[in-house]
């Protein structure tokens, strides 16, 4: 999201790094391994491209995403509070956490 020259939650990938902005699985399909499969496919493509690290955001309003990323080897690297922009922009979350995994 961009407000004037201020970029919120913007990530510029470094060389040999890939960034997952987000994935979504229909509510009735959750728990069937689809999210794990999507991330596994993306990691396989990243390895073929010789990328060394993967990054993904996790929002405090979606604990299931954080659990998924942790289960497949991601670790929390930093948290970014989004106040007051969450109120100004109508976000429902207060903290965005970056998670990383070496490939």
pTM of the full structure: 0.72
pLDDT over 90 (residue 19): no
pLDDT digits (tens, 9 = 90+) for 26-67: 999 989 999 999 999 999 998 998 988 888 878 777 788 889
The pLDDT > 90 percentage for the chain reads: 27
The pLDDT of residue 59: 77
Ordered by where they begin, the domains of the chain are: 15-102 (3.40.630.30)
Rounded CA-CA distance 68/11 in Å is 21
Rounded CA-CA distance 15/71 in Å is 26
């Amino acid at each position: 999201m961009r407000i004037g020259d201020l970029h919120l939650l913007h990530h510029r990938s470094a060389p040999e790094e890939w960034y997952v902005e987000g994935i979504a699985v229909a509510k009735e399909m959750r728990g069937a391994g689809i999210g794990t499969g999507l991330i596994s496919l993306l990691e396989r493509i990243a390895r073929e491209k010789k990328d060394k690290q993967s990054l993904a955001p996790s929002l405090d309003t979606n604990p299931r995403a954080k659990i998924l990323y942790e289960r497949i080897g991601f670790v929390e690297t930093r948290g970014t509070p989004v106040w007051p922009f969450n109120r100004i922009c109508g976000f429902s979350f207060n903290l965005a956490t970056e998670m990383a995994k070496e490939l």
